[in-house]
Amino acid sequence: MNARLLLWFVLALAVVGVDQLTKQLMMGWLSYGQSWPVTPFFDLVLVFNPGAAFSFLADHDGWQRWFFIVLTSAVSVWLVHLIRRHAQERLMPTGLSLILGGAIGNLIDRVHFGAVIDFLYFHAGGHGFPAFNVADSAITVGVVLMLADQFGLASRASRVENEA
């Protein structure tokens, strides 16, 4: 395995580690449903999401756990393939590695708890954004980086840098 490829897998592993560490800390500090206000617009809250993003399919009778375990496993294998294919690039494998790490972090939760542990809750004016976690954040940043790469933002930035 070359050094660049190893770098991308270490990044994914770091995301998994930080994600799992923060979830364990929250489970040690908070009880289920407990909220701890940090700022007027941000709370730490311990919730379990058996569904997908924004609690999609959360209210079903349990089949979604296995569906998401199989889906996440398949997507993770595909992401490893894509990381290997783009290993010598910069932006695309960074995004893919963040997504892979986030996917594996949430997969671990689904296997162990039957749901994803969420704890970051932002709110204002009586409205709140659904609680999320480090893995979800890594997936979101990873998708943004992939889109930036696909729309050529990275190549434009490097061309401008090279012209300067």
Contact 91, 154 (CB under 8 A): yes
pTM recorded for the entire structure:
0.85
Burial of 38 (0-12, 13-18, 19+ CB in 10 A): exposed
Burial of 3 (0-12, 13-18, 19+ CB in 10 A): exposed
Contact 49, 115 (CB under 8 A): yes
Domain ranges of the chain: 3-163
Q: How confident is the model at residue 78 (pLDDT cuts 50, 70, 90)?
A: very high
61 is catalytic: no
The single residue of 19, 109, 136, 149 carrying the catalytic annotation is 136
103-128 residue pLDDT tens: 999 999 999 998 999 999 999 988 99
136 is catalytic: yes
For the chain, give the percent of residues with pLDDT over 90.
Answer: 69
Q: How confident is the model at residue 83 (pLDDT cuts 50, 70, 90)?
A: very high
The single residue of 19, 43, 109, 118 carrying the catalytic annotation is 118
